């Protein structure tokens, strides 16, 4: 899978596993998915952390690398590095 344009997508675009999505507060049964994903649309730090959690849970090395590359500053801010 190609992990590009992460800032204009959400973790839901890459993962449909209810167990993993639940860890970031997304209910895959949400009837208004746009409303459920609103928190990520204007908050790059929240988006970066959500992606990091999903990528780690999926154990997808390419996804993890893409998230770290795309959100380096946001992850550093979130984890005070």
Contact 52, 63 (CB under 8 A): no
Angle at 38 between CA 65 and CA 60, to 5 degrees: 20
Has residue 30 got a pLDDT over 80?
Answer: no
Tokens, residue 40: 């990520």
- DSSP letter for 7, please: G
Kindly state the average pLDDT of the residues 2-11.
89
65 vs 36: CA distance, rounded Å: 26
Q: Please, what is the Cα angle at 12 between 11 and 17, to 5 degrees? A: 105
Cα(68)–Cα(51) distance, integer angstroms: 9
Q: In the chain, how many domains are there?
A: 1
- Residue 25 inside a domain? The answer is no
Pick the range with the lowest mean pLDDT from 6-15, 21-30, 31-40. 31-40
Find the domain containing 44 and state its range: 1-6+31-81
* Res 39: pLDDT: 78
């Amino acid at each position: 899978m190609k992990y590009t344009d992460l800032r204009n997508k959400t973790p839901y675009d890459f993962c449909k596993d209810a167990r993993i999505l639940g860890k970031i507060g997304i209910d895959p049964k949400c009837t208004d998915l746009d409303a459920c994903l609103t928190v990520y649309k204007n908050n790059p730090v929240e988006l970066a952390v959500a992606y990091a959690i999903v990528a780690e849970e999926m154990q997808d090395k390419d996804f993890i690398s893409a998230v770290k590359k795309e959100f380096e500053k946001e992850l550093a801010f979130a984890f005070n590095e």
